[in-house]
Structure 1
Amino acid sequence: METGRNAGDEATKPDPAQDLGGIEGLIEEHILAKLDPEFLAHFANNQPRVAGQPPKAAVQPPIEHVRQHPEAYQPPCALDTSGYPGVADANYLSRDGATIPVRVYSPDEARHGPGPYPVHLNFHGGGFVLGNLDTEATLCLSMRGAGVSVVDVDYRLCPETTWGKCIYDAWNALKWVRESATALNINPDSISIGGISAGGHICLVLQHMARDAGIPLKLCMASVTPATRGLAYTYYTESPFPSFHEFHRGPVLPWARIKYFGRLCMPQEALPDLQSLWPNWWFEPLKAPNWSNLSDTFIRTDEVDPLRDEGEAYAMKLVAGGNKATIKRYLGCPHTFMYTDSMKRKHEYDRDAIVALRAAHSLD
C-alpha cells in the first residue's frame, strides 16, 4: 500500500509550540498532531474566531437553508464551468423517467487529437445530500488533462429523492454514455468511473453492476469511500472500523456531520422501507455477494478520516477475490482534502488521477 509520503514529511508535522491561529481548542490533540500543516493553515483561516465555538463542519444547518443558499455550502474547489471551452451540458433519463443533468469535459484537441476519446464518469461527494455540477468542476478540468472526456453526473440528492435512486441515476448514466458514444465523441469500449465520498460509494456499487451486466470498465477510481451503513448507526461506536472511532471528532467529517447526512438519507423510521427497496449490499458494498472478475480499482484514502479503514478493507476484499487493486493513503490529510487548493497533497492527488487514467486507458 502506498502512503503518499514525501521526503521530509515528519519534519512538516505541526510543532506543538507553533501558533495555530487559536484552533487548538477546536481539534483534539491526538488528531491535531497528525494533520498536515497546510490543512491546519486553511482550517485556521476558515473557522469562527469565538473561543470554544465548534468547527463549521460540526454545525448542521436546516436543509431548507442549504437549498436556498447552495453557494454557501460549496467546497473551495467549486466552479461554474458552463460555457468554458470544451465543456458542454447535456442530460439523460434515469430509470423512473427523471431528467438527470451532466456536464461533459472534452480534452484539448490540439494536445490529444480529434478523438474519439476514452471517457471517465465522475460522481461528486456530499453525503448524498450536497453537491451539483459545480462542486468538483476543477477536478474534472484537471482529469480531462489525461486525454479523456470526463462526464460529471448530477445524480439526485436526499432528502428530496429516496436514497438508492442515486445508484440508478449512475447506472443509467453509464448506459447513456455507451449509447451516445458518437454524439459524445468517445470510445464506448474505454470507460472508467470514479467518485469521492458518497460518489465513491456509488461507483463501487456500479463496479459490481457493470460486471454483472457484462460491461467492461477500464478502472474504478474511488476516494475516501463512505461507510454508508454508518449513516444508519445510532452512535459511532457501532462501527467495526478503528478509524471511525479515532476520528469521530475530526475537523471535516465529525460524527455529528455523518449523523446529519444519515437523518436526511436514512432516518431510523424509514430504514425498513428503504431496506426492502434495494439489495442489502448497496448499503454496504463490503457485503457484495460476488468479488470475482471486477475491474481494476484505485482506492485512495486519507490518514485522518473516519472512513479510511472501510475504504482500505474494500480494496483488500478485491485482492482476496483475485482482482487488481491499488491503495494509496494520503498522510496528514482529512476527509475531502482534495477540495483544498492550498495543499500540496491536493495537487499530488490530481497528478495521481491523471497518471491512473492514462495508464488504465492505455494513453502512455
Structure 2
Amino acid sequence: MPKTTIDLVDPELRPTMESLPAFKIGTETLAEVRAGVLDFVPPTADYERDDVKMESRTIPGLEGGPDIGINIFTPIGGDDLKPAMLHIHGGGYIVGTADLGNVGNTRTASEVGCVVVSVDYQLSPEVTAPTAVKECYTALKWLHENADELGVDRCRIAIGGESAGGGLTANLALYARDCGEIDICFQLLIYPMLDDRTVTCSDGNPHVGEFGWTRDANAFGWTSLLGQSPGEEEVPPYSVAARATDLSNLPPAYMYVGSLDLFLEEDVEYAMRMLKAGVPVELHVLAGAYHGFEMAPEARVSIKAEQESRDALKRVFEQ
C-alpha cells in the first residue's frame, strides 16, 4: 500500500507536479491567479503550422451582454466540407481564456482535419450560471449558421472541452438537446467538472484532489459559478450536468479522467448514467494521472490520452 498519494502518481508526471507553484484561490487572490494562468498562453511560434489558418473574431453575445470572442482554426486545403468542433476551455469556471487551447486546437485541426472554434465565455463570479453555457450555445449557433462560410458540414459538428470546459460541454449537450435547433454529433469530455455536490462529500476516495485542482479550489469555483453555496437543493438551470434527471438522447461521448483527479467519481458516475440512458460512451480512467496532467506533455500517459481522444473524434467524423 502507498504511504502517501504521491506514491500513486505516474513517475513521469511527478517532476511537473512538483515544479508547479502552490496556489490558494479565493476572492482576494483571484486576480493574481488569473494573471498567472495567462503565463501559460503559448507564443504563436509554439503552435503555428503551415497547414492550419488561425484567426480571432468577435460575434454578437447575449442580449444586453458583451460580444463573444472566438478563435478559429481551419485546415488549409481540400474542397470538401469539413467537420467541426466547438472547443470550450477549462479553468474552474473562474480563470482561463480561449488562447490557452491554441496548441491543442491547432493540432486537432491539423491531425483530425476539422475546423475548431474555441469560445471565450465570461468567467465567474462576474457572471453566474447559466450565462457561460448560453454564451457557448450562442457560439455553437454561430458556427452552425455560418457553416457555409467556414466550409463546415452542419451534420458533423462536435463539442468538447476540459475540466470546467468539459462541464460546460456536458451542459451544452443538454441545452442543445432541449432547444432542438442543432444536432451535435459527439461530445468530448476531458476530466469534466460536473457535480457541485462533490464539494460537500466527505466519504469519497481519499487519494483524489491533492494535486492539480484541490477541494478548496473546487468549492470556490462552484460557489462563483452558482452564486450560492455548493450542494444546495436547487441550482440554476444547465449549470450542473450531474444533476440532470434525463440523460437520454444525448450525443455519443468520449471521456477520460485520471485516477487521482478530484472529479474521478463524479465523472465515472456520469458516464454510467449516460450508458444506462442509452448514450454510447467510451470511458478511460488513467492510472497515476492527476487533474491537468497534460502539463507534462512528454509523459507517455499525456501523449496517449491526447492521441486516443483525437482518434475518437476522427472516427466519429469519418462515420
Q: TM-score, normalised by structure 2?
A: 0.88
Q: Distance in 1 between matches of 2:258 and 2:54?
A: 30
Q: How many residues align?
A: 311
* Corresponding position of 2:214: 254
Residue number among 114, 126, 143 corresponding to 1:177 in the alignment:
143
C-alpha distance in structure 2 between counterparts of 1:164 and 1:154, whole Å: 15
- CA 1:41–1:333 in structure 2 vs 1: closer, same or farther (change >3 Å)? same
Structure 1 partner of 2:175 = 209
Instruction: State how far apart, in whole Å, the 2-side matches of 1:179 and 1:353 are.
Output: 27
SS at match of 1:333: coil
**Is 1:311 aligned with 2:267?**
yes
- Please point out which of 302, 305, 308 is paired with 1:352: 308
Counterpart among 143, 148, 161 of residue 108 in structure 2? 143
Letter of the 2:168 partner, please give it. I
The 1-side partners of 2:53 and 2:294 are apart by 23
Secondary structure (helix, strand or coil) at the match of 2:284 reads strand
1:153-302 paired onto structure 2 within 5 Å: 153-212=119-178, 213-230=180-197, 233=199, 235-237=200-202, 242-243=204-205, 245-248=206-209, 250-268=210-228, 275=235, 278-279=236-237, 282-302=238-258
Cα separation, partners in 2 of 1:341 and 1:115, compared to 1, 3 Å: same
How far apart, CA to CA, are the structure 2 residues paired with 1:166 and 1:341?
29
Give me the CA root mean square deviation: 2.7
Residues 194, 242 of structure 2: 8 Å contact kept: no
Partner secondary structure for residue 294 of structure 1: coil
CA-CA distance at 1:106 after TM superposition: 0.8
Q: Residues of 2 paired with 1:200 and 1:308: CA distance? A: 13
CA distance in 2, matches of 1:141, 1:115: 19
CA contact (8 A) 2:88 2:162 kept: yes
1:120 aligns with 85
Q: List alignment gaps of at least 5 residues for structure 2.
A: none
Assess, with a 3 A threshold, how the Cα gap between structure 1 residues 126 and 269 changes in structure 2: closer, same or farther.
Answer: closer
C-alpha separation in 2, matches of 1:268 and 1:59: 17
Partner of 2:306: helix, strand, or coil?
Answer: helix
Greater gyration radius? 1
Separation in structure 2 between the aligned mates of residue 81 and residue 154 of structure 1, nearest angstrom: 18
The change in CA–CA distance for 1:271 and 1:310 in structure 2 (over 3 A counts) is closer
Tell whether 2:303 aligns with 1:337: no
Kindly state the Cα deviation for residue 228 of structure 1 after the two structures are TM-superposed: 3.9
Cα gap change, 1:163/1:75 in structure 2, threshold over 3 Å: closer, same or farther?
Answer: farther
For structure 1, which runs of at least 5 residues remain unmatched after alignment? Answer: 1-15, 17-27, 48-55
- For residues 269 and 31 of structure 1, the distance between their equivalents in structure 2, rounded to whole angstroms, comes to 28
